[in-house]
Amino acid sequence: MLYGSNETHDSFVYHISKEPLTEAVRITSIGMEKRTSTDYYWDGRMRQNDANTCIFQYTISGYGEFQAGEKTYSVKPGEAFIVKVPGEHCYYLPEASPEWEFIFITLEGSKAQACWDQMIDQFGMVVKIDANEPLIFTLQKIYQFALKEGIEDTFISSAHGYEFIMEFYRYSKGLGSSSTQLPDDIRSAVHFIETHYDQPLSLEDITERAALSKYYFTNKFQKHLKTTPIQFLAKTRVKRAMELLITTNKSIQDIAVETGYTNANYFSKVFRKMIGMSPDSFRKDKKMVDFQHVIID
């Protein structure tokens, strides 16, 4: 399910000092906006202050128009445009559209440029992407992090920038589409877990979401996802905990609570079993900064 409408709309622009380790990709802006005035207009040829940046803008509701060369596209819900700045393009809210609600991210750096070159070559400048795709979930997650935690330094900016372009590459290879191929009841349960993992969920809570018997649901879930619902919940919680351990200074107790555990000792036990080290050791291990590549079996 895509955020929008009732969600907080905000945008963030970052002017973070560059570091040699983060020159490959950085987030320069991210946001969710709802535009209702035709004053909203951007010309890719006139944005000298945004030179060498890459933009991904995904429509949530309403529509906007995007022009590239002699072609004009209506960018509707479930569609995104991808462009490099400067460029021969413009996008705007046309008079016929009452609103354009969208979420966007702008990146800079050599890896971002290379990614955009490949995606534009593969998809063109306008691409249709299901709202349930991991790529869109990742964009939403980064926006929520910027909104709630803040992207306060170049390293955090780069980590999240890499996360987005790696998910974009996965999408281009057809590796991010498994969730959209799930049966509706299992996909509903997965979404429920991914959006309520911070609550004290039981198997009964998850089963109720799928409207199936516990036995049938558990077997069906395991058939499609190769793991049980409770194991999937634990993996979801630990992945979020890994992110918080690396990108925040929150205490282990606070992270435990934020990921659905009332007891920090039990959280640490689960974390150690899955990752092979304690949460505190994971936080101190500098090699774990690239934690997106950790695979939880």
The pLDDT profile of the chain, 297 residues, written as one tens digit per residue, is 454 555 568 888 877 667 777 788 999 999 999 999 999 999 998 876 667 899 999 999 999 999 998 899 999 999 999 999 999 999 999 999 999 999 999 999 999 999 999 999 999 999 999 887 889 989 998 998 898 888 888 889 999 999 999 999 988 987 655 555 778 888 889 889 988 999 999 999 999 888 889 999 999 999 888 889 999 999 999 988 988 888 788 999 999 999 999 999 999 999 999 888 899 988 887 444 444 434 455
* 56/97 Cα distance (integer angstroms): 20
Burial class (CB within 10 angstroms; exposed 0-12, middle 13-18, buried 19+) of 116: buried
Which among 101, 11, 89, 7 has a CA at the least distance from the CA of 63? Answer: 101
Closest CA to 146 of 106, 108, 190: 106
Q: What pLDDT sits at residue 293?
A: 39
pTM for this predicted structure = 0.63
Q: What does each C-alpha distance from 6 to 9, 60, 105, 127, 244 come to in angstroms? A: 9, 12, 20, 25, 25
Torsion of CA 141, 143, 148, 149, to 10 degrees: 90
In angstroms, what is the C-alpha Rg of the chain? 20
**Could you tell me the domains of the chain?**
10-178 (2.60.120.280), 182-293 (1.10.10.60)
Q: In angstroms, rounded to a whole number, what is the distance separating the alpha carbons of residues 274 and 250?
A: 21
Environment class of 212 (CB within 10 Å of its CB; exposed 0-12, middle 13-18, buried 19+): middle
Token pair listed for 105: 């991210």
Chain position carrying tokens 């709309």? 9
